[in-house]
Amino acid sequence: MPCLRSLRCVRKLWSPAQTSRLLKVAKLHRSVTKPHHEKVMADNKPWALISEVGEQGYLEEVADIIKRHFNIICLKDFLQNPQFHGPKVQALLVWNCCPEAEPSLLGSLPSLKVVANGGVGIDHLDVPYINRLGVKVTNTPGVVSNATADMAMALLLASARKVVEGHQIAINPKTTHIPQCLMGAEVTGSTLGIIGMGHIGYKVAQRSKGFDMKILYHNRSRRSVEDEQAVGATYSENMDDLLRESDFVMLVVNLTPETTGLISHRELSLMKPTATLVNVSRGRVVDQDALVTALQSGTIRAAALDVTHPEPLPRDHALLSLPNVLITPHVGTNTYTTTRKMVQRMVENAVAAVKGLPVPDEVKL
């Protein structure tokens, strides 16, 4: 700064006290101009509409990732004055399906350039409609695969070995002995049928190989011979054959019109009476009424579900009272590491769209 350069010239002429006062003036000048500079930088950032920061939205630490690149406004604040805020918003960041990208909201965002979704599934977004508005849609493939595959195996193991039942017995104040009837199903050496061998399905196969499981898979298209050999997987062109042979059936498909109700009465009747159905895809992939009947009648042994429809289920839903069902509240991606990666990818996609650059994870139907 000029005032600091001047110090070097006058330091020999001035007393130490005078020099000290000049230094204080220079520091004060920097402290005054820095907030102004930061405010200018903040004003230059584009605006993004989000659900909220807190329990029902983004964790504070991941919200900071968004704030580095966007000014953010939460939906509650936006709705108080959409006419004022709407023209500023260029990115809609959707987390856990919120904010809902419905026509009434999209219509109030004339400058919108991108709807960036956190997660792979985009069944809650009307992509063709959004695209017709001239708005791009993005998701976050890849970064969710490991955490979701971990959760899939956790559900399989917990159901097979009755982990939750064992925990309840262990903490029950009335427990005086450990019952020997708490018998589970063998995982090692069993047959796993994976329906949907995309990123996540393949990660499940990699993990199940460690349990010496025989791996069958059904997919829209067969994977390469190299992929199959790497995990020891066998392709089942007919899904019915996979259902008949598997001890565990794992659903890892995207929700589409073709996969809605994919598993219903007929499919469940093909499964072994000792088999377990594991679902980490979407609740509507399974006909839940048919599943209740199959579990009650002993058509299959058990079900382990990270997804249902709706979420959460009504508190009086039959699935919640069945002893052979394990349900978790759609937490397949809920780790700090994966959540940060998801938000970072959302932001990268949104920034690219706002700047008119190629978008890494644009969804094109």
Residue 182 token pair: 């708490």
| pLDDT > 70 fraction of the chain, expressed in percent and rounded | 88
CA of 218: how far to CAs of 110, 196, 233, 241, 268, in Å? 43, 6, 10, 10, 16
Q: What pLDDT is attached to residue 56?
A: 84
Compute the Cα dihedral for 46, 52, 57, 59 and give only its sign.
Answer: positive
Compute the Cα dihedral for 98, 201, 196, 271 and give only its sign.
Answer: negative
Q: Same CATH topology for 45-141+337-355 and 145-327?
A: yes
Cβ–Cβ under 8 Å, residues 250 and 152:
yes
Q: What pLDDT is attached to residue 9?
A: 45
Residue 95 token pair: 């987390």
How many other CB atoms sit within 10 Å of the CB of residue 71? 15
Asked whether the predicted pLDDT for residue 38 surpasses 50, the reply is no
Nearest CA-CA partner of 363 in 118, 66, 143, 106: 118
Q: Encode burial over 118-155: b for 16+ CB neighbours within 10 A, e otherwise.
A: bbbbbbebbbeebbeeebbbbbbbebbbbbbbbbbbbb
What kind of architecture, by CATH, is found in domain 145-327? 3-Layer(aba) Sandwich (3.40)
Asked whether the predicted pLDDT for residue 2 surpasses 80, the reply is no
- Give the mean pLDDT of the chain: 91
pLDDT one-digit tens code per residue, 294-307:
999 999 999 999 99
- Strands (E) across 166-288 are located at 191-195, 214-218, 233-235, 248-251, 276-279
Least confident span in 19-33, 34-48, 160-174: 19-33
For 311, residues 6+ apart whose C-beta sits below 8 A from its C-beta are 283, 329, 330
Q: Per-residue pLDDT averaged across 320-336, rounded?
A: 97
Work out the angle at residue 307's Cα, subtended by the Cα atoms of residues 302 and 311, and round it to the nearest 5 degrees. 120
Asked whether the predicted pLDDT for residue 209 surpasses 90, the reply is yes
- If one looks up domain 45-141+337-355 in CATH, what number appears? 3.40.50.720
Q: What pLDDT is attached to residue 156?
A: 98
Active site residues: 282, 311, 330
Domain boundaries, the chain: 2-43, 45-141+337-355, 145-327
Cβ–Cβ under 8 Å, residues 56 and 40:
no
